[in-house]
Structure 1
Amino acid sequence: MANDPHEESYDYREIDDVIHGRVRLALMAFLSGAGSADFSDLKKRIGVTDGNLSIHIKKLEEAGYVRVTKRFNNKRPQTICHLTDAGRKAWIVYIARMEALLTPPAAE
C-alpha cells in the first residue's frame, strides 16, 4: 500500500488469488447472489466438468469462503455449496479492490 492514504494503490498483490481464478470467480459471483446452490446447478451455470468444479469448490472451502453440505434428496446424494460470512466479506473486499484498480487515476 502507498504511504499517502490519498494515493491510489495498483499493487497486484492486494488481489485475493483464491477468488481471482476464473472458475472460482464465477462460483463466488453466483453464490454471492444465491447464497447457496447444489453442485448440479453450479456445474450447469458455470459450464465446467465435475472434476474441475470439485477442485475449485475445495479450494474455496479450504479458504473458508464456502461450506459444503451433503444430503440425500429422493435417495440421491446432493452436494450443496453455501457462501460463508467470511466468503461474503472476502467477496466484498475483492470487488472493492477490482473497482479501485479499474478506476482511472485522478488527473493532477
Structure 2
Amino acid sequence: MTPALNEVIHAPNRLRICAFLSTVEQAEFGVIRDMLEVADSVASKQLKVLEEAGYVTLSKPTGRGRVKTWVALTAHGKAAYQEHVAALKALIEG
C-alpha cells in the first residue's frame, strides 16, 4: 500500500509542529509559537486542528505560578506524521 499524504498535517505550520514534536516528549506552547514565529492565535488555531484530529494532546498541569500549556504528539499523531513523511519521500523519489 502506498503511503498517503495527510491534508491535516500537510499545512506548513502543522507539518512543522508535528516534525518538532516527533523529536521531543512534549513542548510548551510558547516554544512552539516561537519556533513557528507566529502570534499566539495562529499557533493556537493550528494546534486546535491537530488536537481535533487526535494528533496532539494539550494539557495545563496545575501548580504554582502561571499555568503553561503543554503539547505532546499522540501515538496516532506520530503514526500519521510518519506516514505523511513516507508519502513525501515517495513523491520525491518518483
Q: Which one has more relative contact order, counting CA pairs under 8 Å at least 6 apart? A: 2
Alignment gaps of 5+ in structure 1 = none
Question: In terms of Rg, which structure is larger?
Answer: 1
Q: CA RMSD in A?
A: 1.5
Match in the other structure for 2:12: 22
**What displacement does 1:72 show?**
4.0
Q: 1:59 to 1:26 in 2, by over 3 A?
A: same
Alignment gaps of 5+ in structure 2 = none
Kindly tell me the number of residue pairs found equivalent between the two proteins: 93
> Hey, which of these two has a bigger chunk of strand by percent?
1
Q: TM-score, normalised by structure 1?
A: 0.80
Aligned partner of 2:89 among 94, 99, 102: 99
Q: TM-score, normalised by structure 2?
A: 0.91
**What displacement does 1:51 show?**
0.1
Distance 2:85 2:43 in 1: 22
In the alignment, is residue 51 of structure 1 matched against residue 38 of structure 2? no
Match in the other structure for 1:37: 27
